[in-house]
Structure 1
Amino acid sequence: MSEQLAGRRDSTSTIESATIQPIPLDQRHGTNRDMFTIWFGTNIMVLSIVTGGLATTLYGQPAWSAALGIIVGNLLGAIFMALHSAQGPRLGVPQMIQTKGQFGSWGALLIVVIVVCMYLGFFVSILVFGGQSLASAVPHFSSKAGIVLLAAASIAATIWGYSLIHAYARIMTYLSGAVLLLAFIWVFVVHPVPHTFFGTGGATLPGFASTVSASAVWQLAYAPYVSDYSRYMPAKTGSRPAFWMSYWGSSIGSILPMFLGAGIGLLLPGMDTIPALTKATAGISLLVVGVFSIGVAATNAMNLYCATLCTITIVQTFLPHVTARSRERTLVAAGLCTIALAVALSSGSGFVATYNGFLTLLLGSLVPWTAVNLVDFYLVRHGDYVVEDFYKRDGGSYGRVNWPAVLCYLVGVAVQIPFMIIGTAYTGPIAKALGNTDVSFIAGLLVVSPLYYFTVRAVARQRAAVTVEEIPALVHGETRA
């Protein structure tokens, strides 16, 4: 581990040397404020506006119901996101490396592979929406050209790494925040909204629940990589400040642009959110779309960076003696970016509906993992892990496969299926009985959290009993088969 622990303190002017190695205490840096800006600055972008627009354009909610659903979903989902963020300063390792402490070295691969696919999916979605927004605001500029431009900016930040991404987010906190405020004033004050905008009719339970779910999964989607951006924080930072700064940065930074998307959906019904944003901000649309597209590149750099770390984690599981540094991160990031770019350039119409289905599947796969991870970290082990064992091929004290965790995860995925609604392709029987309302993430959390906790306790008691039985035999020099 000496080679893995070696390194230097990186700055925005140097390429980050570390990848998935533990960050030594003498290389930790940053302040609590960094946890706010990294999540506030990168959430104000086109994709969060599109996600907020689902409340009114796809789920058909009036202003008050859309706003309430967005607030409830983000505040609820951000709890779990911020609990993961608080793990970073304690352990100093990426989130998916830490997951080996719950699932074992090979058992964690199930989750890591899903996470790689997930962040590539987000990477593609952001490229598509960002490219479309640039094409809608810049004359004679195609969406494919915008996709390529944003991909290039994203991979550059990924190659530079952690410190540059944090610096990028600090700048976007002020720049995107100011432009978002200007957009609200321009859309809803300079051009007064019609009196029907705040109508109270039309709210439905399925539409409200879907808005809550979409907002919650927006936050939950950060869970598999949120501690990647707090692992350099000094250990003395503590869990509580890291939690609250991440919580408020991500929730407020998401709620505000989602409000804008939902409002534009009511102002210009029948239009896709991106063209509607350009039309609603006519006169300043180039500024608005331009700044939000810069924000897109920052967020996509985070997605690509973490997909890259996860891919390196997969390789390291089978080749534990391979030490990946900046060069390997560059090569892996280039390969993943090429795949995502090919998919984004070939995407057709109806991408919003596809994105909504992607959110549902994403929620179903993330909820059981987050339940297992948080229960294990906070209630079972209380943050006490042997970091060196994360990097051993046999998993060290955590083994190759921790079957209680894996089985609880699979049960959590299965139990959500009857509660799910996946676009027009599938509606679960319980969701149908609830008036086409998707509450799958609630079912997953309520089942997996106690199931894992009591399963782990039962296994621990059984092992303790076996140990006690073996003591007489050991005393008399006997062995057990």
Structure 2
Amino acid sequence: MTVYDLDPEVGEEKVAEKVDSYEISDGSSVDTSLYGRIQNFAGKYAMEARGVERVPEDERTDSSIYKAGSFWFAINLVVSALSIGAVGPELGLAFWDSVLVILFFNALGAAPVALFSLFGPKLGFRQMILGRYWFGMQGNKIFSFLNLISCVGWSAINTIVGAQMLHTIGSSHNVPPWAGVLIITLLAFTLTLFGYKIVHNYEKYCWIPTFIILIIICVRLHKSGAFTTGELKTGQAEIGAVLTFGSILFGGTAGWATFACDYVVYQPKTTNPVKLFFVVFFALWIPIVFVDIIGLACMMGTFTNENMATSYENNGIGGLLHAILVDNSLHGFGEFCLVVLALSTIGGTCPNNYSFGLTIQALDDIFLKVPRIIWAVVSSGLFIAVSIPAYYSFNAYMQDFMNIMGYWVSSYMTIAALEHFYIRKGYSGYDVTHWNDSSKLPPGWATLIAFLAGVGAMVVGMDQTWWTGPLAKKVEGDIAFELCIGFSGVVFMIARPLELKYFGH
């Protein structure tokens, strides 16, 4: 009997268990347990077997900062973001005021993602494991659970948009929605199995055909004559629409903050933090703004073109793109473009599938006993289960999800930033051997109290189809994420020093 030790350097024997093994002729030991067989299978086919354990410094050899940039650029230059940009006109905003909202709130959302990306090279931990230093072992479970929901929700948005486009192709043999969801999910699952390096390499090139087709969409929309800038408005209704649209945009961009370290964790400790920050920031902000504005422009066409309006009403953004690229336009070549765009959503789905396995392993030690590749299977099943019913009420689902993402991520990033700068005084305040030792981590009471304060603020400031808070009614818009930042931050700055005083850490 031998002990299967994931990483003895950082004390992971606490989560290791005894397994069966046998010796082979060269004297090495082969793990014959189910866990070991799965890990051996992963290694045989070059799948990434590493879970949430810290990546040692000698294994952090991915020195290209621009590779990290190309990754974030590619996963955000996807057609699903068109649906987010299209929300502005639905809320009553015209083109130019929507553009200003897109520019500002996406920048606001990209900043925390760029900030948290710096922790990967410095400390070698995945994003959700870092949360143990900020929130404690127990407090981190709150955010890990919420991040699991986020992984599923993000993938659902990507797969639904892809399925919408596949469904519009062909006059008499349309791909059923459930089949489109299956196609995209299974392709993303296959890529995710091979882990960090394969996902990075795929994302390095997959954006190119998407970019070309997005330019074609712009050209065809212009030729259709349907585009209009609309009429700029003023007043309380305009302010409310700006706040609500901004909340959706912020949630869509800042939502990547809980994934940030996962994709730079193999960067060396010597990585230039200033350069990495700005590379990640602009690699996020530029493609998101670009695609959001195209989605916005396409949606403006529905106000002057009846076919576009009907197509959007029947098949969402997929139907709208069909009306622009196929109907009285490029016909067969247009349908080919739709297929390519549908498959491009795989680029946005892969990170969610990959991070799902890492997040659930961070939730509790018991989940470390299940290899990451098994969690990739589980997450794919959940994506399918959510995507198919959500397909039929996509707009409401997407808007509610993006808003809720913005709410809880606001508390997450506020508490994390305060713990890092206000309590730990920078990276010197982290002992990398403590990551799985609850006695050396914060007890989590301050995090819980601050998070609940953020939830209370959220309730009074949110504007959803199923609930509108009293403050949201007054401003006629969604102000929940701004309130979450304020209330979570103030309460944490009061509660955390008291926690340190009475618990010592």
Category of TM-score, reference length = shorter chain: 0.7 to 0.9
Q: Give the corresponding residue for 1:256.
A: 290
Q: Give the corresponding residue for 1:286.
A: 335
The amino acid that maps onto 2:161 is F
* Residue from 375, 382, 386 that aligns with 2:431: 386
Asked if 1:31 corresponds to 2:74, the answer is no
State the distance in 2 between where 1:453 and 1:191 align. 55
* Residue from 391, 394, 398 that aligns with 1:351: 394
Asked whether the 8 Å contact 1:279–1:285 carries over to 2, the reply is no
Asked if 1:71 corresponds to 2:113, the answer is no
Asked if 1:183 corresponds to 2:217, the answer is yes
Q: Secondary structure at the match of 1:61?
A: coil
Tell me: CA distance 1:212–1:347, structure 2 relative to 1, closer, same or farther (3 Å).
closer
Q: Give the corresponding residue for 1:427.
A: 468
Asked whether the 8 Å contact 1:4–1:323 carries over to 2, the reply is no
* Residue from 286, 289, 297 that aligns with 2:346: 297
* Residue from 84, 87, 90 that aligns with 1:54: 87
Asked whether the 8 Å contact 1:136–1:275 carries over to 2, the reply is yes
The amino acid that maps onto 1:302 is P
The amino acid that maps onto 1:389 is H
Tell me: CA distance 1:107–1:462, structure 2 relative to 1, closer, same or farther (3 Å).
closer
Number of equivalenced pairs: 449
State the distance in 2 between where 1:92 and 1:288 align. 40
Asked whether the 8 Å contact 2:410–2:484 carries over to 1, the reply is yes
Q: CA deviation at 1:336?
A: 2.0
Tell me: CA distance 1:5–1:200, structure 2 relative to 1, closer, same or farther (3 Å).
farther
State the distance in 2 between where 1:411 and 1:71 align. 29
Asked whether the 8 Å contact 2:449–2:491 carries over to 1, the reply is no
Q: Give the corresponding residue for 1:474.
A: none
Asked if 1:412 corresponds to 2:454, the answer is yes
Question: What is the aligned-residue identity percentage?
Answer: 18
Q: Deviations over 1:45-102 (max 9, x none)?
A: 222110111111x212110111111111101111112111121111111111110112
Q: Give the corresponding residue for 1:208.
A: 242
Q: Secondary structure at the match of 1:246?
A: helix
State the distance in 2 between where 1:138 and 1:67 align. 34
Q: Give the corresponding residue for 2:257.
A: 223
State the distance in 1 between where 2:374 and 2:56 align. 25
Q: CA deviation at 1:138?
A: 4.7
Q: Secondary structure at the match of 1:60?
A: coil
Asked whether the 8 Å contact 2:244–2:463 carries over to 1, the reply is no
Q: Deviations over 1:127-152 (max 9, x none)?
A: 22211112213552222221111011
Tell me: CA distance 1:347–1:445, structure 2 relative to 1, closer, same or farther (3 Å).
closer
Q: Secondary structure at the match of 1:104?
A: helix
State the distance in 1 between where 2:52 and 2:268 align. 17
Asked whether the 8 Å contact 1:44–1:292 carries over to 2, the reply is no
Tell me: CA distance 1:455–1:240, structure 2 relative to 1, closer, same or farther (3 Å).
farther
The amino acid that maps onto 1:173 is W
Q: Deviations over 1:381-401 (max 9, x none)?
A: 112312222123xx13105x3
Q: Deviations over 1:347-389 (max 9, x none)?
A: 4522211221122222222211111112212332112312222
Asked whether the 8 Å contact 1:125–1:355 carries over to 2, the reply is yes
Q: Give the corresponding residue for 2:300.
A: 266
Between 235-244 and 445-454, the greater mean CA deviation after superposition: 445-454
State the distance in 2 between where 1:23 and 1:371 align. 26
Asked if 1:241 corresponds to 2:275, the answer is yes
Gaps of 5+ in 1: 468-481
* Residue from 90, 98, 103 that aligns with 2:130: 98
Q: CA deviation at 1:408?
A: 0.9
Q: CA deviation at 1:114?
A: 1.1
Q: CA deviation at 1:346?
A: 3.4
Asked whether the 8 Å contact 1:55–1:211 carries over to 2, the reply is yes
Between 93-102 and 30-39, the greater mean CA deviation after superposition: 30-39
State the distance in 1 between where 2:294 and 2:263 align. 27
Asked whether the 8 Å contact 1:304–1:337 carries over to 2, the reply is yes
- In the TM superposition, what are the counterparts of 1:120-199 in structure 2 within 5 Å? 120-139=152-171, 140=173, 141-188=175-222, 190-193=223-226, 196-199=228-231
Gaps of 5+ in 2: 10-38, 304-308
State the distance in 2 between where 1:380 and 1:210 align. 33
State the distance in 1 between where 2:230 and 2:8 align. 57
Asked if 1:331 corresponds to 2:380, the answer is no
Tell me: CA distance 1:5–1:59, structure 2 relative to 1, closer, same or farther (3 Å).
farther
Asked whether the 8 Å contact 1:419–1:431 carries over to 2, the reply is yes
State the distance in 2 between where 1:360 and 1:344 align. 18
Asked whether the 8 Å contact 2:139–2:448 carries over to 1, the reply is yes
Q: CA deviation at 1:186?
A: 2.8
Asked whether the 8 Å contact 1:41–1:176 carries over to 2, the reply is no
Q: Secondary structure at the match of 2:377?
A: helix
Q: Give the corresponding residue for 2:418.
A: 375
Tell me: CA distance 1:288–1:463, structure 2 relative to 1, closer, same or farther (3 Å).
same
The amino acid that maps onto 2:432 is V
Q: CA deviation at 1:442?
A: 1.2
Q: CA deviation at 1:453?
A: 3.1
* Residue from 20, 37, 40 that aligns with 2:73: 40
Q: Give the corresponding residue for 1:342.
A: 385
Q: Give the corresponding residue for 1:472.
A: none
State the distance in 2 between where 1:149 and 1:333 align. 16
* Residue from 477, 484, 488 that aligns with 1:437: 477
State the distance in 2 between where 1:342 and 1:457 align. 43
State the distance in 1 between where 2:453 and 2:372 align. 34
Between 345-354 and 67-76, the greater mean CA deviation after superposition: 345-354
